[in-house]
A and B are shown apart, each in its own frame.
Chain A
Amino acid sequence: MQNAANPITAKMPAEWRDFLTLTKPRVMTLVIFTAICGLLAAPGTIHPVLGFTAILAISMGAGGSAALNHWWEADLDRGMKRTAKRPLPSGRMRREDARDFGVFLSAISVVLMGVAIGWLAAATLAIAIVYYAVVYTMWLKPRTPQNIVIGGGAGAFPPLIGWVAVTGEITAMPVLLFAIIFFWTPPHFWALALFVKSDYAKVGIPMLPVVAGEKTTRQHVLVYTLVLAPIAIAPWVIGGTSWVYGSVAVVLSALFTRLAVPVGLRERRGEDPMREEKVLFKFSIYYLFALFAALVADRVLFANGLIGPGMLA
């Protein structure tokens, strides 16, 4: 369809780099990082080859569902400046090729996880892929201004799957890791949305700042941050980590809340430099990185007998 505008490209096989672009490599770096953290923070050990395979399967699943996202949203992407140069809207690739690549990569990732690691991890991965590609991309993203919250769920799966790959069971701790990313995504993204104008509205995607206004978005940033703080500290409270993670989580969450309060309560004035929003967005990235790094550090210290388990250690 999109190749009609570019008949020469239609005759050409797409470049392998375009297939790589379909997998959203930049998003994948965060997926890989959080999946590795889930894998390393889980109690127990996994052979390095199997650990690598688990991370590879999670990455392939993320890449496959990202390709399906490209396929489904090709028409929307053509209407937005940020995405117009992607392989499908620019006509460098046939739309069906992206769909087939996404389905193939997703299916292979689940089979690889099942055969090499275990079928609970594979089932969780399959749910994550369907959640992102179908529930989020096809169903709820174009229908609700809470789409960022729902999309956050997709990004929250990797540490849970990494954890399950090691332990073979779903307990409170991996669910908390899921919840941390789930509740972190809205303040992270909406802080960005407050100072960067996107053209989602142009293509009919109901983003919160456009649909409900800036004031409501600011309130949402604050509320989700207030919910996130106790969830981030919960792994320590339930005795899943030691005071090392606990103290890092308390300090980071206090800082996050401290930065979110002015963003949540203030109003834009004239030529506003939006300094508070920019600082909050930047800090949110460090926050997640440091929180998960602390989780891994906690496990490494515990495994080496340097700290005891639980909140009293």
Chain B
Amino acid sequence: MTPEEEKEFKRRRKSRNLVVGGTLLFFAVLFYAITVVRMGD
């Protein structure tokens, strides 16, 4: 892998990790909210 390819590889990996992290955080908050609502039923 050339230095340019490696740089691109790391950029893609970082952006994917950020999206996955954000999605997980979103679902953690969503499940917390669902639990609160369902417990109130």
- Contact surface of A with B, Cβ cutoff 8 Å: 8, 11-16, 47, 49-50, 53, 56, 115-116
Residue pairs across A and B with Cβ atoms less than 8 A apart, 13 shown, are A11-B5, A12-B8, A12-B9, A13-B12, A15-B15, A15-B16, A16-B16, A49-B30, A49-B36, A53-B30, A115-B34, A116-B34, A116-B38
Question: Is B33 interfacial (CB-CB < 8 Å)?
Answer: yes
Residue contact A12 to B34, C-beta cutoff 8 Å? no
The digit string for B4-36, where 1 denotes a CB below 8 A from any CB of A, is: 010011001101100100000000001001101
Q: Is there contact, CB below 8 Å, between A12 and B37?
A: no
Chain A at the B interface: SS class: helix
Q: Once the chains bind, are A53 and B5 in contact (CB under 8 Å)?
A: no
B-side interface residues, number (CB < 8 Å): 15
CB-based contact A13/B13 at 8 Å: yes
- Cβ–Cβ contact A49 & B34, under 8 A: yes
CB within 8 Å for A13 and B5 given contacts A49-B33, A50-B34: no
A8 surroundings in chain B (CB, below 8 A): 5
A50 to B15, CA, bound (A): 30
Residues of A within 8 A of B34 (CB): 49-50, 53, 115-116
Distance (Å) between the CB of A92 and the closest chain B CB? 10
Q: Which residues of A contact B16 (CB under 8 A)?
A: 13-16
Alpha-carbon distance A115/B33, docked complex (angstroms): 13
User: What's the minimum C-beta distance from A117 to chain B, rounded to whole angstroms?
Assistant: 9
> CA–CA, A8 to B34, complex, Å?
43
- Pair A50/B1 contact, Cβ less than 8 Å: no
**Are A15 and B37 interface neighbours, CB within 8 A?**
no
A16–B37 contact, CB under 8 A? no
Q: Would you call A16 and B1 a contact (CB within 8 A)?
A: no
